[in-house]
Amino acid sequence: MQRRHLFTSIASLSIAPSIPLLTSCRLMKKDIKEFGKTFEYLKDDAARAKETGNAPMVIEGASFDGTQFHGQVWRHLKFVDCDFTGGYQIRLEAMANVEFRNCHFAGVIEFGVMTDVRFHGCYSQGNSNWGGQRGSRNVVFEKCRFIGSSSDRNRQGAIGTYGDATFLGCVIKWFDISADTGLVARDCDFDGVSYHPENATVLIENCRLRGLFNMVPAGLASLTVRDTVVDHLDFNRAEVKGDILIERVSGRSLLARIGGGLRITVRDSQFKSSPQGPSPFKLVSADTLHATIDNVQFLGGGKPVELSFGLVGSKAEGVAPQVNQTFTLRNSHIDHLDATYLRSAHVRFEGNEFGRLELQHSRIGTLELLGNTIVRTVDLTNVEADDAKVQPLGAGQARLEGSNIRLD
């Protein structure tokens, strides 16, 4: 899977023009080399442990600009109002039980394997790249602001870890976030953000996803998005090992033609696309065993909503079928539903409002269309069902060419 690297080449950065705020702040701060014994302890963690044990140490108002720290382990530290700048001058082995408050970061900074590390009220801008390596855990960013300088992804930086990361009340614009094994984002405002984990358990809660939230590609253990406003969420081609839950979400579009997603639930949500925008909703997976769409309003300005689960297969192309066990759609409004090429043991559509309903070329065990309001047509062309319970339809409303379904 191709993905952006958290630590990029220093040659790709244009640090100085993008950080005027940090430059002005740095003039008022003392170089870390002038901190005497504190500086020595940062350079030699073993000596510090021998002399002071695990006693916490506070560093306030320091500038880390050009001083090398390579291979050290930082433990039991609190940095307050410090500036960290440069390109690879800081390349730690690890840090643990460290807190950063109101600190500024610019450049390429490697903090090693991070354990129990918290950033509060910190700031970064431009195309900086910094964070933790594989194995990082319990890394929290709270009320931080990370503002990029360009909507061009090739000119954006990245922040986070190759382990897990939590973002609480943060504002992030035009940055990659990195949280390869686990992401919690709560009460955050994201704008033009990219996120490409390898195998992450993801929770996005009470957030605002402005512009495009780009998750192409992504490897997910599971995905939960709730109580969130979405402009455009795209996780096409994602591989999802576990479940997907989308609830109480309002937005313009969600696009997901994925692998995996064993149980998918979308409920109590609304998606409304403009006539010039993309389809409001695409959710397609051959691997989903159980799919439930409940009380969702899809308003697409004429563009079809795509919902398809299972795989019909093809003898000619040697593609084996995959069978979805249940696909339930109820109490929802869809102007135009494209649910073609279903391969499902049980499909139940009940209490919905459809403008146009398409189920062509599907293979279904039990098909139930009950109590729906259908304004225009129901296309059942080439649909084969072992058992079908279809509500009364108007004259000429159903298309049945090549189907074994018989209407009363």
pTM of the entire structure? Answer: 0.90
Quote helix, strand, coil % in the chain, to nearest 5. 10, 55, 35
pLDDT score, position 318: 62
pLDDT score, position 5: 58
pLDDT score, position 304: 92
Give the residue extent of every domain in the chain.
Answer: 251-408
DSSP string, 212-252: EEE-SS-EEEEEEEEEEEEEEEE-TT-EESS-EEEEEEEEE
Query: Of 269, 234, 219, which is closest to residue 248 (Cα–Cα)?
Result: 269
| 367-389 pLDDT tens trace | 999 999 999 999 999 999 999 99
The lowest-confidence range among 8-12, 41-45, 180-184, 404-408 is: 8-12
Supply angle C-alpha 41, 45, 50, rounded to 5. Answer: 90
Band of the pLDDT at 303, cuts 50, 70, 90? confident
Tokens of 226: 């709730």
Look-up of token digits 């040697």: 318
For residues 31-47, average pLDDT? 95
